[in-house]
Each structure stands twice: as structure tokens, then as C-alpha cells.
Amino acid sequence: MIRKAIFPVGGLGTRFLPATKAMPKEMLPVVDKPLIQYAVEEAADAGIEEFIFVTGRNKTAIEDHFDHSFELESTLAAKGKREALTLVKNMMHNPGSVMYVRQQQPAGLGHAVWCARHLIGDEPVVVLLADDLILGKSCVREMVEAYQGGNMVAVMNVPEDQTGSYGIVTPGADDGRVVDVKGLIEKPAPADAPSNIAVVGRYIIAPQVFETLSSQERGASGEIQLTDALAKQIGSAPFHGLRFSGERFDCGSKLGFLQANLAFGMSNTDLAPDLKAWMQERLK
């Protein structure tokens, strides 16, 4: 049973400046919901009960988003906007189940995860990167169901010329869905890549990973990398990659973000007919 999830939201989001100048990247909306809310809902769907955000600068928008907004709620009530009121009220989690830790400097994803160490006991925990948005079945749920102890990452096959943008797996036994991870390397050039099986931003990590992270070793881009700490566990704990069934969008990039808005728009029954007609007209 995995009960806790860490959401690292301390990155600078430089690829989205100026939008991210005063607002975290994870608050960018896809259709009508911020990226971070999709991630939280995906985790809740997998039975996660405690939500730990590792924040950086400009954190208040995320804290406010997951808290009551008394003024908004009373205004909606006074105006009789019941549907909107239910929507904002339903977002609330149990008191005390949402926690915030501050990452004092953006020293990398591994560092962000390590900052949450005092909130995690001797139990495995999920890590979700909200800028990897997944359309379809909850990827975390699929991972929790397939978890066999040790560490697990969500993986997908990527075009060979794109390995430099991902953590890449050296595969062992592979049944087409679950792959044994024999090695892991961060952002290899295509010529150095052991495969085209790439890690996307969903992890289940064992408590030992926090001990490894405490050495604060810097890796690719001079940052403390989560993949390096996971790679160090290989051989001493099981490590699997899971090919999830949903479609992943890289919302950390402008193209991926635009694609996500179109794909989520097309999966929205209210929007799809008009959106499709507009796109067909536009592409003529």
C-alpha cells in the first residue's frame, strides 16, 4: 500500500518565461485545470492519501489553489452558482493531508525529492512531475498495481534522436509492458544511449533512495539527479520500468503544452465538435 506522493514544483520553468515569471509552471492550465491539479487527481485515483509539495519561489499560487477561498465560495453561493461552488469545494482534501516543503535553491530533481525526506517514513513513495501530463488511465494507479517492491519508473519508447532529453534505461527482461531496469543514464546523446526506453515523470521510490540522495552528488547539468540515485540502487533492490497505457505530453515544452491543450480539448465532449471544426478549417 503506497500512501504518500511527492510533487516537486521547485523548478524555474525557464522555457515558459515570461509566463512563469511570477507563477509556477505547474499552475499553467490545460483547458481549464492547472497541470498540478491533473497530477494530484491522478495520484488520488491511485489511493494516495498524503500530498507533499516541494515548492520554490512563487509558491503561493499552488498553496492557494489547494486551499479554501472563502471570498470566492461565498460570492458563488450568493450568486447561486451551484455547479461552480461544488467544483471548487470538491477539490478540498482532508485537513492535514496536504503538506509543503520549501526547496531553498533549485539544485535538481533529486535535491527536491530529498527535501521531503522528513515527511516520509520507512515506506515507498510516489513522485510525480506535473509537467508530464498523461491523458487516459491514471499512470500512478497502473504503477501501484504493478509494483513489486524496490523502485519503479514509468517508461515509454521515444524516437532515437531524442534520448538526450530523457533518463534512458538499459533494459533486461522485457515482456513489452514491464521491463527490468539494469542501468539508467541521464540524458545520453543518441550514440551513447543504451536503448530508446525513456523515463517519464512518474516514480515509485524505496526509502533507501533518500539515503543515497543525502550524499548530494551532482550529475548531469550540475544538478542532483533523481535518476543517479535510482541507478545506484540497481543490484541491491528490484527496479522495473512500466509502459503505461495513457498518452504522455511534455508540458515543460511549448509544443508539448500546445499539443496537450488540443488533445484534452478534443477529449472534452463540450469542446470537441467546435474545436475539431475550427482545426479542420484552419488547416485547409
- For the bound state, the minimum distance from the C-beta of residue 85 to ligand UTP, rounded and expressed in Å, comes to 31
- Binding to ligand UTP by residue 54, rule CB under 6 A? yes
Nearer to ligand UTP, 133 or 144 (CB): 133
- For the bound state, the minimum distance from the C-beta of residue 55 to ligand UTP, rounded and expressed in Å, comes to 8
> How many residues sit close enough to ligand UTP to count as binding (CB under 6 A)?
21
Q: How many CB atoms lie within 10 A of CB 121?
A: 9
Footprint of ligand UTP on 110-149 (CB under 6 A) = 111-112, 129-131
- For the bound state, the minimum distance from the C-beta of residue 280 to ligand UTP, rounded and expressed in Å, comes to 32
- Sign of the dihedral defined by the CA atoms of residues 265, 266, 270, 276, in that order: positive
Q: Cβ neighbours of residue 123 under 8 Å, at least 6 residues apart?
A: 2, 3, 4, 207
- Binding to ligand UTP by residue 167, rule CB under 6 A? no
Contact assessment for residue 124 and residue 205, using Cβ atoms and an 8 Å cutoff: yes
- Binding to ligand UTP by residue 106, rule CB under 6 A? yes
Site string for ligand UTP, 7-46 (x = CB under 6 A): -xxxxxxxx---------x---------------------
Cα separation, 218 vs 193, whole angstroms: 20
Cα separation, 228 vs 209, whole angstroms: 10
Contact assessment for residue 166 and residue 198, using Cβ atoms and an 8 Å cutoff: yes
- Binding to ligand UTP by residue 198, rule CB under 6 A? no
Instruction: Give one word for 80, left, alpha or beta, with left for phi > 0 and alpha for psi -120 to 50.
Output: left
Contact segment (CB under 6 A) with ligand UTP among 72-80, 93-101, 109-117, 160-168 equals: 109-117
- Binding to ligand UTP by residue 209, rule CB under 6 A? no
Residue given cell 512563487 in the structure block: 58
The C-alpha cell at 169 is 534505461
Footprint of ligand UTP on 240-269 (CB under 6 A) = 252
Binding stretches for ligand UTP (CB under 6 A): 8-15, 25, 54, 103, 106-109, 111-112, 129-131, 252
